[in-house]
Amino acid sequence: MDIIKIFLPSIVAFIVGILITPLVSNFLYKNKLWKKKSVAVATDGGQATLSQKLHNDEERKTPRMGGIIVWISALVTIILFTFSDYLDFLSRNQTWLPLFTLVAGGLLGLIDDYFSVTERYDQKAGGLSSKKRVLLVFIISLIGAWWFYDKLETTDIMIPFVGIWQAGILFVPFFILVMLGTYSGGVIDGLDGLSGGVFSIIFGAYGILAFIQNQNDIAAFCFVLVGGILAFLWFNIPPARFYLSETGVMALTMTLVVVAFLTKQVLILPIIAFPLVISSASSSIQLLSKKFRHGKKVFLVAPLHHHFQALGWPATKVVMRYWVLGSMCATLGIVIALIGKV
């Protein structure tokens, strides 16, 4: 019964996602919900010449907001399964918080996406300014930290090969920092099929870890997200019908952090989610290099996947190698989590 409870919802979420996509897609295209201009200004204020060439939304006319498919299909599936006493996996101590984070992040990202495809957008950020987005993520992370600390009375962090660290009140700022850092990895949403493949691998890995640790509700939740992400990916492989964008990135990155803390495997997160880490790190390195090395760049363009693209790699080659790298890192993370228990 546990196997059915964990994997059946994933299949249902995939089917729901496939069924609602025509409605969502038609709405996005009918209302022309794509960016009308490519990124013209880099985060340091300079001209983003290469980025303009690589991001040609105004020519391709590919809508944003594709992440709606992921979190709506997951939400519908979860609601459907609450009517079954045997298959319901919505629980206070395991799935209330990740569900809240998923929906809250999705809605806030949707607002940002709306601004980015209308005339009301920030020239640099293409929607809400970076400061406003970080503030929104901070607020949700503060709510999550409070829920862990006060409602779940959780302050312990598993350190592989060492044991449990009782962080006490330090758990709160640590949680917030991890969520802000993980959200920065959302820059991986830049090539057709890239984000969908990477996120499905990451959540699949945490679903496996949760199942091994007998956290069946979390495992089912993770695989519901995998089902929703794969439904999105079905239409996001080249040529992409739409992009994940902030409504998907906010929902998935923040929910990932909650899942990592619930499974006590947050310190394995940088390994399992290594593609997110290198994408975020490359952007930070590029920004710091241009600031402190008088405009000199480390990469042709950041984040890293666009650097490879600028080198002449076909986009599909970059994407599939990220999938391969993500699979190996996820496997390594699972192995370390299992042998690192003391």
pLDDT in tens, 54-85: 555 555 688 999 999 999 999 999 999 998 88
The amino acid occupying position 315 is: A
Closest C-alpha to 45, from 122, 100, 119: 122
Q: Which pLDDT score is estimated for 25? A: 94
Indicate whether 322 pLDDT > 90.
Answer: yes
Residues 165-183, mean pLDDT to the nearest whole number: 94
Classified as helix, coil or strand, 165 is: strand
For 168: left if phi > 0, alpha if psi spans -120 to 50, otherwise beta; the answer is: left
Phi, psi of 235 (to 5 degrees): -100, 0
Q: Which pLDDT score is estimated for 32? A: 87
For residue 41, what is the DSSP state?
B
DSSP H helices, the chain, are: 2-30, 49-54, 57-60, 68-81, 96-116, 130-146, 171-184, 194-212, 216-236, 245-262, 269-272, 274-292, 304-310, 315-339
Of the two residues 173 and 185, the one the predictor is more confident about is 173
Residues 25-45, mean pLDDT to the nearest whole number: 74
Percent of the chain with pLDDT over 70: 90
d(CA 183, CA 44): 19
Residues 125-131, mean pLDDT to the nearest whole number: 73
Q: Which pLDDT score is estimated for 185? A: 87
pLDDT band at 219 (very low <50, low <70, confident <90, very high): very high
Residues in the chain, total: 342
pLDDT band at 119 (very low <50, low <70, confident <90, very high): low
d(CA 232, CA 254): 18
Q: What is the pLDDT of residues 243-274, one digit of tens each?
A: 999 999 999 999 999 999 999 999 999 999 99
Q: What is the pLDDT of residues 154-163, one digit of tens each?
A: 999 999 999 9
Domains of the chain, residue spans: 2-152+172-262
Residues 7-13, mean pLDDT to the nearest whole number: 95
Of the two residues 130 and 101, the one the predictor is more confident about is 101
pLDDT band at 122 (very low <50, low <70, confident <90, very high): low
Q: Which pLDDT score is estimated for 88? A: 87
Indicate whether 36 pLDDT > 80.
Answer: no
Q: Which pLDDT score is estimated for 52? A: 54
Q: Are 248 and 236 in contact (CB under 8 A)?
A: no
Residues 186-212, mean pLDDT to the nearest whole number: 94
3-state SS track over 139-153: HHHHHHHHHHHHHCC
The region of weakest confidence among 15-24, 129-138, 292-301 is 292-301
